[in-house]
Amino acid sequence: MSEVYLSREGYEKLQKELRQLKDKERPKAREAIQQAREFGDLAENAEYAAAKERLLFLEQRISKLEDTLSRVQLLENESIPADKVYIGATVELLDLKKERELRYTLVAPEEADFDAGKISTVSPIGKGLLGHAAGDEVEIRVPVGTLLYRILSISR
């Protein structure tokens, strides 16, 4: 499997989620299964089926998090060039069509949070910005059309 590049903040967020799932959610799901078993006939027991499904979902998520965390390479900003857009960069953009400024931080897919201004490097906008420098005008095709940005600044 390939490496997963995360910021320290993203790494700690995934570790916190894993601890929450293992220490709190998994025991609750197991307890719900035990309680549902006490209702009797498991073949017609909706509570039992729902509790088993919840536990299966949790186990899959725990497994995915453990796999991801085992492949993490922490991003150290001092080792990434600051003159171009790469993962970990915060980019100030001017939308040339709407004449408004935007600010995005490029992150790994596991850290993406559009509401927080963190976009994935594999998203259309993220891919379109990678490798460009301040002052570049970038045309990016997205499902709803074409975006046209000027990169105003890049910071780490």
Q: Is the pLDDT of residue 100 over 70?
A: yes
Per-residue pLDDT for 118 more than 90? yes
Helix 46-70 × helix 8-20 angle, to 10°: 150
Contact 129, 139 (CB under 8 A): no
Provide the token pair at 18: 């894993």
CATH of 77-155, one of 3.40.50.150, 1.10.3470.10, 3.40.50.12780, 3.10.50.30: 3.10.50.30
Q: pLDDT tens across 60-71, in order?
A: 999 999 999 999
- Write down the pLDDT at residue 49: 85
Query: What is the topology classification, in CATH, of domain 4-74?
Result: Helix Hairpins (1.10.287)
CA nearest neighbour of 131 among 63, 80, 75, 77:
80
Question: What pTM, to 2 d.p., does this model score?
Answer: 0.72
Q: Taking the domains of the chain in order of start, what are their residue ranges? A: 4-74, 77-155
When comparing pLDDT for 73 and 56, which is higher? 56
Interval 126-138: pLDDT, tens: 999 999 999 999 9
CA distance 3 to 31: 36
Residues 35-63 have pLDDT tens digits of 888 877 666 778 888 899 999 999 999 99
As a whole number, mean pLDDT of residues 85-89 equals: 90
